[in-house]
Amino acid sequence: MLDPVCPLDYRYGREEIKNIFGEERRLQYLLNVEAALARAHAKVGNISKSAADEITKKASTKIVKVERVRKIESETKHDIMAITRALSEQCKGDAGKYIHLGATSYDIVDTANALQFADSLELISKCLKELRKTFVNLAIKHKKTVMVGRTHGQHTIPITFGLKMAGYAMEVDRHLERLFECKSRLLVGKLSGAVGTGAALGPKALKLQEEMLKELKLGIEDVGTQIVCRDRYNEFLGVLCNIATSMEKFATEIRNLQRDEIGEVAEAFEVKKQVGSSTMPHKRNPITCEQICGLARLIRGFIIPTYENAVQWHERDLCNSSNERSIIPHSIILTDWIVYKTDDVFKNIKVFPDKMKKNLEISKGLPMAESLMTILIGKGMGRGDAHELMRKTALKATEEGKTLKEIFIIENKKLKLLSENEINYALNPENYLGVTDEIIDRVVKKLKR
């Protein structure tokens, strides 16, 4: 047997979600659809209940073996025909002749896809809920952990690490909403034959489709061609790309804040055994965050062929089939994986409040210029005048290598604007956090429901 080639086989992905896309489990999903089709035929009176029962009894990978299906496919060059023949071989009496009755291959394939999507969504949603909980806990824990805000990579005004985490928690919450909202459009199957007319299914085609999909707890494709319409898949893969992008955003923030010259947080590092570099013994690299970022880019890369698959020739061509075998499992497994790894990073994150405080002091009070400006406005100075005064004060402090306070005190003596207590209050980062506490409290209240 050849060694594994795909990294999903040996490096990335949780076993429980990889199992959904394994060869044997995939075969079982397809057999489940064939069995549901047989039972639907029996319900509308097309075949006997005993035939449907026999097909259902034998539609199991314990009886229909992967190896046998592979052998038949090597001869027929058709995957679904291989499955129907392998199942028919195991059925007693005349039951085998009713397998796949009136169906086209993609009635089975796309319906099985929907079953896989349903099981996958449960696992990804569960993982996202755990990550949301982790962010909420961090928001509570670091509600008062003051740090400098940054825009354009430059120091701005103070925020708290808790506020950052509250924002992340809400972003994850929106992804849970998106996954839930796309379910009704995604979890649909079809039983309408080669071009969507149901011609081979007879006069009870619509009832047959209804019965089969009701048993499988799936919705119905309103107007199918030979396949379920791929705008549904586009939406789902788009949500996965969105989720992956958020994971990369969160991980990128940790990578940036872990820089030696910033050093405000760090990925956990197993000091006793973990190696950071094969040549530099001192290195402690944010390798998990980097893995998350790298895989997120791969997930987004699948979106182009996904959209192209929605452009079919007439009622269907085969161009989607080959690449969907890679796109679907890789996108789902890797999205689940990076959500899981992101949760692991933040559950074990190292936060350094003292370094955050020290970094606030690097800019010599400049991030508090807006705070002073706001107090000056409150004292009656026009907004434009207050802004201009603080702009010039900040520039002078930078040019002379002095603190904002030192230069402002000189200006204040001339203009007699603020008292010493007012100046000190305005320059204290903890006093210029606005309604941060209230924002975090609202997030916690909403997500702890």
User: What secondary structure does DSSP assign to 357-407, as a single string?
Assistant: HHHHHHTTTGGGHHHHHHHHHHTT--HHHHHHHHHHHHHHHHHHT--HHHH
Task: Centre a 10 Å sphere on the Cβ of residue 246 and count the other Cβ atoms it contains.
Answer: 21
Tell me: pLDDT of 114 over 50: yes
Pairing of strands 188-189, 219-220: parallel
399-421 pLDDT tens trace: 999 999 999 999 999 989 999 99
Tell me: pLDDT of 277 over 60: no
Instruction: Give the count of alpha carbons within 13 A of 13, CB side only.
Output: 21
Q: What's the confidence (pLDDT) of residue 285?
A: 86
| Same fold? 105-354, 359-442 | no
Are the beta carbons of 339 and 124 closer than 8 angstroms? yes
Q: Write out the two tokens for 351.
A: 């936060």
Tell me which fold the domain 105-354 belongs to. Fumarase C; Chain A, domain 2 (1.20.200)
Higher pLDDT, 318 or 107: 107
Confidence of residue 4 (pLDDT cuts 50, 70, 90): confident
Q: What's the confidence (pLDDT) of residue 273?
A: 57
pTM: 0.94
Tell me: pLDDT of 282 over 50: no
Tell me: pLDDT of 449 over 80: no
Q: Write out the two tokens for 420.
A: 């010493």
Confidence of residue 107 (pLDDT cuts 50, 70, 90): very high
Rounded-to-integer distance, Cα 91 and Cα 58, Å: 6
100 annotated active-site:
no
Q: What's the confidence (pLDDT) of residue 448?
A: 85
Are the beta carbons of 39 and 56 closer than 8 angstroms? yes
Phi, psi torsion values for 119, nearest 5 degrees = -70, -35
Residues 6+ apart with CB under 8 A from 348: 267, 268
74-103 pLDDT tens trace: 999 999 999 999 999 999 999 999 999 999
Q: What's the confidence (pLDDT) of residue 192?
A: 97
Percent of the chain with pLDDT over 90: 93
Q: Which of 129, 85, 99, 94 is nearest to 35 (CA)?
A: 99
182-234 pLDDT tens trace: 999 999 999 999 999 999 999 999 999 999 999 999 999 999 999 999 999 99
Confidence of residue 276 (pLDDT cuts 50, 70, 90): low
Rounded-to-integer distance, Cα 223 and Cα 358, Å: 63
Q: What's the confidence (pLDDT) of residue 272?
A: 52
35-55 pLDDT tens trace: 999 999 999 999 999 999 999
Q: What's the confidence (pLDDT) of residue 275?
A: 53
Are the beta carbons of 159 and 367 closer than 8 angstroms? no
Residue of 74, 152, 278, 282 with catalytic role: 152
Q: What's the confidence (pLDDT) of residue 358?
A: 96
Summary mean pLDDT of the chain: 95
Are the beta carbons of 111 and 191 closer than 8 angstroms? yes
22-37 pLDDT tens trace: 999 999 999 999 999 9
- So where are the chain's domains? 7-98, 105-354, 359-442
41 annotated active-site:
no
Task: Centre a 10 Å sphere on the Cβ of residue 132 and count the other Cβ atoms it contains.
Answer: 20
Percent of the chain with pLDDT over 70: 96
Q: Which of 279, 291, 220 is nearest to 250 (CA)?
A: 291
In CATH terms, 7-98 corresponds, of 1.10.275.10, 3.40.50.720, 1.20.1560.10, 3.40.190.10, to 1.10.275.10
CATH architecture of 359-442: Orthogonal Bundle (1.10)
Q: Write out the two tokens for 209.
A: 């489709």
Q: Which residues of 279-312 are buried (b: 16+ CB within 10 A; e: fewer)?
A: eeeeebbbebbebbbebbeebbebbebbeebeeb
50-73 pLDDT tens trace: 999 999 999 999 999 999 999 999
C-alpha distance across the termini of the chain, in Å: 52
Q: What's the confidence (pLDDT) of residue 269?
A: 76
Say which amino acid occupies 281: P
Residue of 50, 78, 277, 326 with catalytic role: 277
363-407 pLDDT tens trace: 999 999 999 999 999 999 999 999 999 999 999 999 999 999 999
Q: Write out the two tokens for 376.
A: 């000056």
